[in-house]
Structure 1
Amino acid sequence: MNLIKDFILQLAFIATLIFTLQIFFAERSERNGQMRIILSVIFGLSILLCMTFPVYVSSNVHMDIRIVPLLLGTLYGGLRTGILLCALTILYRFYIGVDLGFYTTILTLLFSMPAVVPFQKVFVKAQKKKRIQIALILSIYYCFVGLIVVSSFRGFSLNALQVHFIHLIITVMAVLFFTSLNETIKGMLQKNQQLQSEAKDAEIAFLRSQIKPHFLYNTLNSIAELCIDKPNKAEELTLNLSQYLRSSFDFKQLESLTTIENELELVKAYINIEKARFGARLNVEYDVDANLDIRIPPLILQPLVENAIRHGLMSNLRGGTVKISVKKEKGAGVSFAVEDNGCGMNDKKRDEILNPDVANRGIGLWNISQRIQLLYGRNIRIESAEGMGTKVFFDLPARPIEQVGG
């Protein structure tokens, strides 16, 4: 009975450390180098605790279930982690003392661990049920190797067989429990990440579906106003807009990216329409120094330009200037800025624009802010002063979009 209690103490050590691993680090990638270091530390500490508090069968015979963290660490961490854990086991056993147990430890590892290497590659690619089966087979194999090695040195006895049988049962149950637990938690996390990704994609699709009709509604209204005074210009702009939408917009692919070049074309198409309407009251300056082939989310500049014109400049009779900046930054980043010298806004109004709880907020700024936050985990920034103008700016990485939060 004391044997079982001592084995349970070792299981408690392993469980505490593995639960810690799952709670704090389970969402990280298995291929992450930092994650492998964490795995080595957690399972290495488990091995040391098991060996520090062994089960004493007699005054000169003691056992532990170090194979549980050793095996799981090798299967989940890879060959390097397994070699590191084996080396740690041998060094600590050497520190305890060079005796018969030291030599049986080396021989057991020498004959059992090479069998783990081919299985480890299969384990990584296998599904949950197959992984559990592999872990159980290897744990049983290790226990039998240990029994043969120890019996070769100490001889066979009924009492030794009973102890090894208890050791085998506890080891197999522990491996079954921890492998099943780990696979279940991983499955739950993967499902949760998938749901988060799907929810994020759905929200981004909704935001894009919201901004595109918003752009078309305002643009067509501008063209409609030209129809009375400048019908020929209205016709020309309508045809230009139709051609651009036909070549550049795909309403079926709400998840697709565009290039900086295409986004600037859309901005210019919109500005041509507004220039035809407002004439000399509207001035536009471009400062573009970036790779135009970099892919970005569509419609993240045009709504900002539209806001600058409609709410910043045209609220004044004198009009003003909009500056559009796309600049290359250090670290392969790109900075975007839309600045006007219009009426500006106070701090309260600026905070309300990006507040999702404000019912009368405009679509443009809030929509862009939400999409950039969802896609990149970044925020847009606003600088504004009443009577001075407004600047909206943000930075994006010049690389593929990464998953955020999930």
Structure 2
Amino acid sequence: MSMGVFKDFMLQLALIATLLFTYRVFFAERAEGNRYEKIVHSVLAGLAILLSMSFPVTIAADYRVDIRIVPLLLGTLYGEWWSGIVLSVVVLLYRLYYGINLGLTTTFLNLLLSIPVFLIVRKTFIGAKMARKLQIVFLLVVYNSLDGLITVSLMRGQSLIAVLQTHFLHILIDVAAVLFFTALNETIVNMIRNNQQLQAEKKETEIAFLRSQIKPHFLYNALNSIAALCLDNEAVKAGELTLDLSKYLRSGFDFKQMGSLTTIENELELVKAYINIEQVRFGDRLGVAYDVDAHLGTPIPPLILQPLVENAVRHGLMSRPQGGTVTISIKQEKDDYIQFTIEDNGCGMSEWKREEILTPDLKKKGIGLWNINQRFRLLYGKSIRVESVEGIGTKISFELPARPVKQTGG
């Protein structure tokens, strides 16, 4: 065959490669194997079939071929269960557009014998490893080629050897292209999967670090309060605070299950345990109000509420001699999300101060809104809202899904 024929094949391969792997760019960060991705892959495979058939390679005066088997096979194996059938219809409709002839008949027979086999093997292919997938696609394309050779030989009345000689380069390109595209696709998928795993591990490590900063702070305050009560011979109150502290330790210290979720009810118990301890320290200076109108069993990340309440008490209310009140509002907003608001009538802050506390500073000790905000961003990809007026107070708010969602950490 001439160099022009080879270039025509390369043009078809370039068109197929561009279409079949374009979707990988857009779906790189999406969940692997989701339904929408498969539908897009099938649509692009159909378009690749049409383009490859639109630029056929002429190997004889009345004989033109294309490498539609590449997008047809890969679209069937990587798409939905119906992809192979739809793609076959696309092929037949395209051939029918040029009239009912011998080419349409041979194409129909080839698809009739090949597509059922592709669909039967598809389930095995999906669950196989890369090496096994390459074996499967190799056998399928060889089977399709033999099926096509026999069909053409019978319909055209030519010897099988003569047909094989005519199609030999065509078959080699089909086999090489299918193996190459399958290997490339699996390599890309493995790279994306490994990258997502590394990102998840990094995120869990960061969340673990942020949680480790939050918990000792509360424990430190609690032990100081208990020690003070013991020195004042307040044994009963010290015992009550010890029980409150035990609730916190039981529900709060769980570093092994970073992906676990707690409930609104458990998180509120943690908040109440903290408030009880702080009210012993600050007495009437610390007031608290609860406004809860949401399902208490709704799953939420642990330690997402208590640190914000602690921040409001320590930096908002106790910075003023007269103290103040912190209001904890949890309200269901329709069926989509739950609105959380922690508001205090403490000292408030200026705009530059608000920006400063949301900036990381390794020299500072304590919880810090930056620490809390960073953990929220790692979990949900968005920030908490901080509104404050100097001398009036501060309000912190955020929304969480009203139904369980998959968390990477927490």
Shorter-normalised TM-score: what interval?
Answer: over 0.9
1:332 offset after TM fit, Å?
3.7
Distance 1:66 1:387 in 2: 72
Distance 2:79 2:395 in 1: 49
Is residue 2:47 matched to residue 1:49? no
Matched-pair contact (CA < 8 Å) for 2:271–2:306 = yes
1:135 offset after TM fit, Å?
0.8
Distance 1:263 1:42 in 2: 48
Pick from 238, 253, 256: which aligns with 1:253? 256
1:163 offset after TM fit, Å?
2.1
Q: How many matched pairs?
A: 405
Q: What's the TM-score once normalised by structure 1's chain length? A: 0.93
Residue 16 of structure 1 is matched in structure 2 by 18
Q: What's the TM-score once normalised by structure 2's chain length? A: 0.93
What do the CA deviations read for 1:72-96 (whole angstroms, capped 9, x no partner)?
0000003211111111111111113
Distance 1:270 1:124 in 2: 51
Distance 2:117 2:15 in 1: 26
Unaligned runs of 5+ in 1: none
1:129 offset after TM fit, Å?
0.9
Distance 1:374 1:9 in 2: 45
Residue 127 of structure 1 is matched in structure 2 by 129
Matched-pair contact (CA < 8 Å) for 1:312–1:343 = yes
Residue 277 of structure 1 is matched in structure 2 by 281
Pick from 207, 210, 222: which aligns with 2:210? 207
What do the CA deviations read for 1:143-200 (whole angstroms, capped 9, x no partner)?
1111111111112255532221111111000001000000111111111111111111
Is residue 2:184 matched to residue 1:181? yes
1:403 offset after TM fit, Å?
5.3
1:402 offset after TM fit, Å?
2.8
Distance 1:330 1:81 in 2: 38
Q: What amino acid is the match of 1:124?
A: I
Residue 105 of structure 2 is matched in structure 1 by 103
Distance 1:41 1:246 in 2: 54
Q: What amino acid is the match of 1:192?
A: N
Moved over 6 A (4+): none
Matched-pair contact (CA < 8 Å) for 1:303–1:364 = no
Distance 1:230 1:381 in 2: 43
Distance 1:245 1:25 in 2: 42
Please state whether the residue corresponding to 1:327 is helix, strand or coil: strand
Distance 1:268 1:82 in 2: 59
Unaligned runs of 5+ in 2: none
Please state whether the residue corresponding to 1:215 is helix, strand or coil: helix
Distance 2:155 2:262 in 1: 71
Q: What amino acid is the match of 1:322?
A: V
Residue 349 of structure 2 is matched in structure 1 by 345
Distance 2:313 2:31 in 1: 46
Q: What amino acid is the match of 1:324?
A: I
Q: What amino acid is the match of 1:293?
A: G
1:243 offset after TM fit, Å?
3.2
Residue 153 of structure 1 is matched in structure 2 by 155
Pair 297,270 (structure 1): closer, same or farther in 2 beyond 3 Å: same
Matched-pair contact (CA < 8 Å) for 2:77–2:122 = yes
Distance 1:122 1:177 in 2: 20
Is residue 2:314 matched to residue 1:310? yes
Is residue 2:390 matched to residue 1:383? no
Is residue 2:195 matched to residue 1:197? no
Please state whether the residue corresponding to 1:220 is helix, strand or coil: helix
Pair 264,30 (structure 1): closer, same or farther in 2 beyond 3 Å: closer
Distance 2:340 2:292 in 1: 9
Please state whether the residue corresponding to 1:384 is helix, strand or coil: strand
Pair 83,214 (structure 1): closer, same or farther in 2 beyond 3 Å: same
What do the CA deviations read for 1:32-75 (whole angstroms, capped 9, x no partner)?
33212211221111101110110112232111110000000000
Residue 81 of structure 2 is matched in structure 1 by 79
Please state whether the residue corresponding to 1:28 is helix, strand or coil: coil
Please state whether the residue corresponding to 1:65 is helix, strand or coil: coil
What do the CA deviations read for 1:223-256 (whole angstroms, capped 9, x no partner)?
3444444633652344223432454344453523
Please state whether the residue corresponding to 1:112 is helix, strand or coil: helix
Q: What amino acid is the match of 1:161?
A: L
Pair 235,277 (structure 1): closer, same or farther in 2 beyond 3 Å: same
Matched-pair contact (CA < 8 Å) for 2:386–2:396 = yes
Please state whether the residue corresponding to 1:109 is helix, strand or coil: helix
